[in-house]
A and B are shown apart, each in its own frame.
Chain A
Amino acid sequence: MRVLPVGDRALLIEVGTGEEAEALHAELLRRRATGDLAVAEIVPAAGTVLLDGLDDPSLLTGRLASWEVPPVPPRAQDVVEIPVRYDGPDLADVAAHWGVDETEVARIHAAAEFRVAFCGFAPGFGYLTGLPREVPRRATPRTAVPAGSVALAGPYTGVYPRSSPGGWQLIGTTDIVLWDHTRVPAALLAPGTRVRFFPVAAP
């Protein structure tokens, strides 16, 4: 674990792997809930957790060294199930990249169990880990990816909460609403949420 100061009010905690970041994130949330940690924002990412809004970062840096971070906690929470029509325009490219046919891409994707490693890019956009294979980003990003697009890039799966530019490989579409600010919670996917995708036929 490496602790990097970020200005005068924040720390970036760097760990080795996504699993360690997940475990550290869970531990930080636990300590905040018990009142042991006073911080405005806890922002997990690929291999780091950012703590923003600290009164005394250097004091916390000292304390962090002595903390036991238990491994990833048991996955007791419910699974969010997302229906997908595997009809994306990049399905053939992903199939070719993996050396399988398009049906197999859908089977591999729907068989995996995912977890929201972190959010970013847009409100409610989760970076989901758990897919056993990777694909590169598209060489040329699209200027508009439709809302509900289920997409792959690197080790991640994501679902576009709203139409936006994007360079991810589009493999399918869902009608589920990822983000609705009038709903509580607004985001369907938050860091730590477990997710499965299941195939549905086109209407």
Chain B
Amino acid sequence: MSDRALAVVRAGALTTVQDRGRPGHAHLGVPRSGALDAPAAALVNRLVGNPPDAAVLETTLNGCSVRPRSTVTMAVGGAPCPVTVDGRPVAWGAAVRVPGGALLDIGAARAGVRGYLAVAGGVAVEPVLGSRSTDLLSGLGPPPLTDGTVLPLGRPPGFHARVDVVPHPAPPLELVLRITLGPRHDWFTDAALRTFTTRPYAVSSASNRIGLRTEGPALERSRAGELPSEGMVLGAVQVPPDGRPVVFLADHPTTGGYPVVAVVHPADLPGAAQAAPGTPVRFVAVRHRR
């Protein structure tokens, strides 16, 4: 492999390659995938002068360590965390020049869940259906990184962004998710809909890239029976038989048979990607359609 490569020294709890995903194939059962906190991924790309659709690394809670084969510009963003190069602290949320052979370490998140590492030129693994994203539901794209994985890098762009620092929203202390009720809110009792939009929930530790699971009061259905499978959107709040709402994130299944009580406003999903287990969640109805 050429010098344009990045060796993964410590893969961390779960580190995947992500770009803007592969929308447009849902009718074939292909999830959209892509960075969960898409604005954070776009910001770190901007810091190293990449186009917004360049592939980055998405870390989970405890970061990762990488060693570039040649000198390259990198930036770490998303969940705030310590960043070091060969043990020396360097800036988080800013472009950093990392010498070839040096070790860049992304430490444990101080808040939030998902960190993003952009490398000038982008991670250049082979795209699948137009995207380099790892899809954990269906197994498309590169597998999650393991210690020793070597990733090819693309050519660095000819210019660098002139911004030194870009504003990152802080991970939420309380996750407020604006929702539009429906399409299947009529499968639930009025009391359940009141519970859903007024009572506190908490982020469950069973959450992943497929869905943000919640703990809290169960939502009671107003009817028995099964719903035939139907198409699912990003941000759909599906209610499985245990009654606890699940917010569908990027790797969600394209069809499903549990009723969708509401859909989360897309602008609130990056916050959901950064809400650590135990974070309080409130679902706030912004429009009620019957």
Q: In the assembly, what is the distance between CA of A47 and CA of B229, in Å?
A: 8
CB B1 to nearest CB in A, in angstroms, measures 21
Contact B263 A120 (CB under 8 A): no
Closest 7 CB pairs between A and B?
A50-B231, A7-B263, A120-B255, A43-B231, A46-B228, A4-B183, A119-B29
Contact A121 B29 (CB under 8 A): yes
Count: A-B pairs, CB below 8 Å: 109
Tell me which of B27, B129, B183, B184 contacts A191 (CB under 8 A): B27
Binding site for B on A (CB under 8 A): 4-10, 12, 40-50, 52-53, 118-125, 127, 162, 181, 186-187, 190-191
Residue-by-residue, is B148-173 near A (CB-CB < 8 Å gives 1, otherwise 0)? 00000000000000000000000000
Contacts of B27 in A (CB 8 A): 41-44, 118-119, 190-191
CB under 8 Å from chain A, chain B span 255-283: 255-256, 260, 263-266
Tell me which of A6, A47, A120, A125 contacts B233 (CB under 8 A): A6
Binding site for A on B (CB under 8 A): 23-30, 128-129, 138-140, 180, 182-184, 228-233, 235-236, 253-256, 260, 263-266, 289
Known: A120-B253, A186-B129. A52 touches B231 (CB 8 A): yes
Contact A181 B140 (CB under 8 A): yes
CB A162 to nearest CB in B, in angstroms, measures 7
Q: A47-B228, A53-B23 are in contact. List 15 more A-B contacts (CB 8 A).
A: A5-B182, A7-B264, A7-B265, A7-B266, A9-B233, A12-B231, A41-B27, A45-B229, A50-B232, A120-B29, A120-B253, A121-B255, A122-B29, A187-B28, A190-B27
- The 15 listed contacts between A and B (C-beta, < 8 Å) are A4-B183, A6-B236, A40-B24, A41-B23, A43-B254, A44-B231, A45-B230, A46-B229, A52-B231, A118-B27, A119-B27, A120-B29, A120-B253, A120-B256, A124-B28
Q: In the assembly, what is the distance between CA of A46 and CA of B235, in Å?
A: 21
Contact B265 A8 (CB under 8 A): yes
Q: In the assembly, what is the distance between CA of A89 and CA of B128, in Å?
A: 34
